[in-house]
Structure 1
Amino acid sequence: MDLIGERVRLRRTRPEDADVEAPIFALPDVARFTGRHLLLPQSAARLREGNTDQSGRLVWTVTAREDGGVLGDTTLFRFNHLDRHCWFAITLGPPERLGKGLGTETTTLVTRFAFRQLGMEKVCLAVFEGNERAIAAYRKAGYEIEATLRRHHLLEGQLVTEYWMAAFRDHPLYR
């Protein structure tokens, strides 16, 4: 199922998207904050393998409505239907497309889908300290920090804080 916003369209990921997404995931900030640097140097092949095995995940390729350009991907995963929560992840680039609200719009579309179509009560995500652009986008999409895990993730030789954020079904954006 495609999700369509004002400026973005989320469509089912296809194996050929990996060739377009690999350079995005190789961007320094993207690789740093997502751990995708672990996929390099054969990132396109590994992305292709990962995106075709979608068991237990819902994966969309994020495209710009204005020109159809691929911006990255987004995923819902770790579904807990008993307790009605799941996890969310997003990767966007290239840099010239950032800072225009596309991440916030994508996050809102996917979160709304989780609440309305999947019956979730809560959508969770993890983000590293220093990724202020992402944290700001998540806050605009109704997410709040729920947990602070200090010195939790090794990033470029340093243990950094990881924040767990969540949005809830009764947030005004999602009613």
Structure 2
Amino acid sequence: MITVRRATVDDAPAFARIMGDADVYPGLMQLPYTSVEVWRERLAEPLPAPDLRLVAERGGEVVGTCGMHTGRPIVRRRHVLSLGISVASEAQGQGVGSALMQAMCDYADRWAHVLRLELTVFVDNAPAIALYRKFGFEVEGTHRAYALRDGAYVDVYAMARLHPNPPTLPAA
């Protein structure tokens, strides 16, 4: 069974383990050689509302992480959050990503007043692209040579999801 909960400072070792996994970080915008101390500092910093960090646990072990962030505080983009997700290599393809995405989309749609979720994904990451499509994300464009990965510049897709049923006012 997969349990999703808010991340805490005590999750720093799990973040370092997952983000430092040689099978995981090439698909992320993370660098190799991360540390528990780096993640402890990041997780200790208070997040501005409506930012959120979650973890997925299975059998008491953290097997996935995700976060939604506002980025720079631009008034005209208050309705947008950027999403990032990572799943431990041994837990990929087992519903962890779906559990995290479901929790993030629920939070964005029902509680955080978010109209648009955005992310980037390497164009060759077919499993991640399929996961995002499952939750309503669409490819909006390609960023050429977006990031350096293992000594080569790689393209990413810009993907986004609009709220499927934006809130309305109650009837008068």
Task: Please state if 1:44 is matched with 2:39.
Answer: no
What amino acid maps onto 1:104 in structure 2? S
Q: Percent identity?
A: 27
Instruction: Answer yes or no: is 1:31 the counterpart of 2:25.
Output: yes
User: How is 1:146-161 mapped onto 2 (pairs within 5 angstroms)?
Assistant: 146-161=140-155
* 3-state secondary structure, aligned to 1:37: coil
After TM superposition, the structure 1 = structure 2 runs for residues 83-94 of structure 1, keeping only pairs within 5 Å, are: 83=77, 84-93=79-88
Alignment-mate amino acid for residue 68 of structure 1: G
- TM-score, structure 2 as length reference: 0.83
Find the aligned partners of 1:105 and 1:73 in 2 and give their Cα distance: 11
Pick from 125, 138, 162: which aligns with 1:168?
162
User: Residues 11 and 62 of structure 1 are in contact (CA less than 8 Å); yes or no, is this contact kept in structure 2?
Assistant: yes
Match of 1:122 in 2: 116
Gaps of 5+ in 1: 1-6
Distance 1:10 1:54, change over 3 A: farther
Work out the CA distance in 2 between the residues paired with 1:73 and 1:96. Answer: 14
CA drift of 1:132 comes to: 1.5
Give the distance between the partners of 1:168 and 1:52, measured in 2 at CA.
30
Aligned match of 1:101: 95
The answer to whether the 8 A contact 1:8-1:106 is kept is no
Q: Which runs of 5+ in 2 are unaligned?
A: 166-172
Distance (whole Å) between structure 2 residues aligned to residue 82 and residue 114 of structure 1: 17
After superposing the two structures, state which structure 1 stretch, 119-128 or 98-107, moved more.
98-107
TM-score by length of 1: 0.82
Task: Work out whether 1:61 is the aligned partner of 2:52.
Answer: no
Matched positions, count: 160
- CA deviation digits over 1:45-71, x for unaligned, max 9? 10111111132331112212xx22211
1:75-108 Cα deviation digits (max 9, x unpaired): 1101667441111111111x23211222123112
Q: For the residues of structure 1 that align with 2:75 and 2:138, how far apart are their CA atoms?
A: 22
What is the alpha-carbon root mean square deviation over aligned residues? Answer: 1.9
Larger Rg: 2
